[in-house]
Amino acid sequence: MAEAASIMFKNTFPDHHGERLLGENKKLVSGAAERIKEVIIRLLKQLESCIGQEEHSKRPDFSVYTGSSGYALLYLHLHKHLTSTSSDSDTDASSNSSRSEGEDYLMQALQHLKEALANPQGRRHTFLCGDAGPLALGAVVYSNMGDERNSAHCISRLEAMHINVIRDQTLPDEHLYGRCGYLTALLFVQHHLGADKVDRELIVKVTRAILDSGRAFGSKTREGPPLMYEWHNKKYLGAAHGLAGIMYTLLLIKEPEVLSEIESAVRPCVDFLLTLQFASGNFPSSIGSSSGDRLVQWCHGAPGWVYMFIAAYKTYNDKRYLEAAERCCEVTWQRGLLKKGYGLCHGAAGNAYAFLALFRLTRNQKHLYRAHKFAEWCCDYGKQQCRVPDRPFALFEGLAGTVYYLTDMLDPLSAKFPAFEF
């Protein structure tokens, strides 16, 4: 635990003692919400003042993960949050002001996308790290602006990528750089614009490619589940690069043509993964990992496993999976305030989404309380002397992701880990 302590802060927050933070309107109670709103405004101003400097000081990065498209996703999120929180009791003046601000956020989202849409990199096909992310975002942003022609054009370009995704035998299957990352882009468009906006046969084809790839590699291993994958010659296990993230993505697919195939293939994999959980509730980052019980972060540790176990519980109605998710959240509460920072991939904001996911499922106020305490930690952005990430303002490494999480905290029942949960 000494090594673990070197990468985390001790959690000194008191645990839940009956506090109720969900108001009658199903949003965060007003007292807590007001402080978070003030911090969002302050951090957003800080972000906007720094983005331009960052873009001029580094080589162009159009990705959602660390680049300009990540800012576009944040502004789309802010737009949707603003329009969804306006109420019938608003005055005409305040409603018009909110609508105008929401439209401004859409325009900012589009501005951050324009270069990415005009200059596809052609190297990767995923939502977070490739061309699929800007295209999926472009489809949604244009549609929200009433420009259905450009929205449809983005979808056509996105769909055309499926041929390489299926045929390229060197392509991995994981979330950041592989087929699941492309599948996420298709699911993102469906989530925002409707299931029929994407050719559903493409989802079936990519899903089958992921299943076939897992079976082929799994057949080469003497022990383990029927599906197995590797990335950079390692059998990774976590949400970003590994088996848990791939199984979770497969469980999101509800196309009738592959549904029974998914459910029969995934369950033994989830059962296998369940056997790897440490007594602490955490998991190894890869099979045979020498780091042991160390990383408590979305990309490689227990916070990212919560989503697979929740999806498995919903699919198979097996309480073992819910209990595993609960154990994941316990270790996240104990060891999830990271010295790496406040970001989504490996920071406090990303870890906190695990609490919100379990709160949405169980309605146990303990999980909302814990998510709020992590939000309080994020509200003191910069005061804890965390390490400065390589891209300090980016969506998945830096400030943009923290603002995204704090915005979600205002409406916890609709909160979803960006570009992962749907």
Give the pLDDT mean for 103-119. 96
Task: Give pLDDT, residue 221.
Answer: 82
User: Is residue 308 within 8 Å of 260, Cβ to Cβ?
Assistant: no
Residue 13 lies in a domain: no
Distance CA 336, CA 329 (A): 9
pTM of the full structure: 0.94
Query: What total of structural domains would you count in the chain?
Result: 1
> What letter represents residue 126's amino acid?
T
Distance CA 24, CA 2 (A): 44
Least confident of 49-53, 74-78, 245-249, 381-385: 49-53
268 pLDDT exceeds 60?
A: yes
Give the pLDDT mean for 311-328. 99
Task: Give pLDDT, residue 54.
Answer: 63
User: Is residue 69 within 8 Å of 40, Cβ to Cβ?
Assistant: no
Residue 77 lies in a domain: yes
Tell me the binding residues for Zn(2+). 299, 345-346
Residue 233 lies in a domain: no
Give the pLDDT mean for 80-95. 58
* Domain of 133, in residue numbers: 65-198
At 236, phi and psi to the nearest 5? -70, 155
Task: Give pLDDT, residue 217.
Answer: 95
pLDDT tens per residue, range 136-173:
999 999 999 999 999 999 999 999 999 999 999 999 99
Residue 241 lies in a domain: no
User: Is residue 178 within 8 Å of 233, Cβ to Cβ?
Assistant: no
Give the pLDDT mean for 26-43. 96
Task: Give pLDDT, residue 223.
Answer: 73
Residue 183 lies in a domain: yes
Tell me the binding residues. 299, 345-346
- Closest alpha carbon to 167 in 182, 156, 188: 182
- Closest alpha carbon to 171 in 217, 215, 124, 134: 124
- Average pLDDT of the chain is 93
Residue 119 lies in a domain: yes
Reported confidence tier of residue 295, pLDDT bands at 50, 70, 90: very high
Task: Give pLDDT, residue 3.
Answer: 60
90 pLDDT exceeds 90?
A: no
Give the pLDDT mean for 50-58. 68
Give the pLDDT mean for 310-321. 98
Q: Calculate the alpha carbon distances from 251 to 226, 262, 267, 329 in Å.
A: 16, 7, 10, 20
User: Is residue 309 within 8 Å of 290, Cβ to Cβ?
Assistant: no
Give the pLDDT mean for 268-297. 95
Least confident of 5-19, 96-110, 242-256, 309-323: 96-110
Residue 9, SS3 per DSSP: coil
Task: Give pLDDT, residue 87.
Answer: 47
Task: Give pLDDT, residue 319.
Answer: 98
**122 vs 325, residue with greater confidence:** 325
Percent pLDDT > 90 in the chain is 85
In sequence order, what are the residues at sequence separation of 6 or more whose Cβ sits closer than 8 angstroms to the Cβ of residue 154?
117, 135, 136, 138, 139, 142
217-224 long-range contacts (CB < 8 A, ≥24 apart) are 224/272, 224/287
Residue 110 lies in a domain: yes
| CA 53 to mean position of chain CA atoms | 26
Distance CA 98, CA 290 (A): 52
Distance CA 364, CA 247 (A): 25
Distance CA 215, CA 345 (A): 28
User: Is residue 62 within 8 Å of 73, Cβ to Cβ?
Assistant: no
pLDDT tens per residue, range 209-227:
999 999 999 998 877 899 9
User: Is residue 8 within 8 Å of 335, Cβ to Cβ?
Assistant: yes
> Taking the CA of residue 311 as centre, how many other CA atoms within 13 Å lie in the half-sphere pointing to its CB?
24
Residue 44 lies in a domain: no
Reported confidence tier of residue 88, pLDDT bands at 50, 70, 90: very low
> What letter represents residue 48's amino acid?
E
Show the DSSP H helices in 317-422 as ranges. Answer: 319-335, 348-362, 365-379, 399-409
Reported confidence tier of residue 84, pLDDT bands at 50, 70, 90: low
DSSP for residue 388: P
